[in-house]
Amino acid sequence: MKKDWVLTQEALDGLFDWLSQDRQQAALEYEKIRRRLIRIFIGRKCYVAEELADETINRVTVKVTNLTEYQGDKALYFYAVANNVYREWLREPTKTDCKPPMFLVVNASDPSGEQLRFECLDRCLRELPEDSRDLFLEYHREEKQAKVKHRLRLAAEYGIAVNALRIRAHRIRIQLKQCVINCLEQMPVH
């Protein structure tokens, strides 16, 4: 792999031109593909998912001048390159990051960390618009079988399909997670 190759502005421009004639659309497409490549590498248990996604993009960028005649979904071209990147990475003798950890402590908890997260979540929920907060809290209210019926009822109340409700809750959750991260970073360290 060409570890010494750097993505220049000129090269990035070339990639964007290949993705779309509209520069804004191209930027959106780039971000979308990058995000999904990261998710795919995470799904393959790679700790360095971002690095592998960037390597994939770099390689496609290098080839872009030869891809003017390419037909088909461009995202799938990235996928093919990603597979090569993944296979090469697994073959590296010193590589361990793509293998599952031998031991993972999943139940360890830091009581002071939990309390800080709780306080930050409380604060972040208050900062949400009221309708988003209500939807989010209602969505997570029940457990097990009661949860399924509750969400169906909630979706009906909002006049949307259950999967649309699920996605709305997910988007609010992303906001909250980032807010909690920002809040924790501002917390004083004792």
For residue 90, state whether it binds other proteins (rule: CB under 8 A). Answer: no
CB 63, min distance to other proteins, A: 18
DSSP letters spanning 103-122 = ----S---HHHHHHHHHHHH
Q: Considering only 9-17, 18-26, 43-51, 63-71, which stretch makes contact with other proteins by CB under 8 A?
A: 43-51
> In the stretch 155-184, what mask flags binding to other proteins with x, by CB under 8 A?
--------x--xx-xx--x--xx--xx---
Tokens of 103: 């031991």
Please state the closest distance from residue 54 (CB atom) to other proteins, in A: 16
Q: Token pair for residue 89?
A: 């990475």
The DSSP symbol for 65 reads: G
| Interaction of residue 73 with other proteins, rule CB under 8 A | yes
Residue 34 in contact with residue 53, Cβ under 8 Å? yes
Half-sphere exposure of 87 (CA within 13 A, CB side): 6
Binding mask 13-42 for other proteins (x = CB under 8 A): -------------------xx--xx-xx-x
Place of tokens 């399909």: 161
Smallest separation (angstroms) from other proteins to the CB of 169:
7
Joined together, the tokens standing for residue 80 give 């093919």
Q: In this chain, which of 12, 27, 62, 125 binds other proteins, going by CB under 8 A?
A: 125
CA-CA distances (angstroms) from residue 87 to 57, 91, 95, 101?
Answer: 16, 6, 11, 19
Which of positions 139-158 make contact with other proteins (CB under 8 A)?
A: 140-141, 143-144
Q: Where are the alpha helices (DSSP H) in the chain?
A: 9-19, 23-43, 49-63, 74-91, 111-127, 130-139, 144-158, 162-186
Q: Which residues bind other proteins (CB under 8 A)?
A: 32-33, 36-37, 39-40, 42-43, 45-47, 49, 73, 75-76, 78-79, 100-101, 104, 106, 109, 113-115, 117-119, 121-122, 125, 137, 140-141, 143-144, 163, 166-167, 169-170, 173, 176-177, 180-181, 186-188
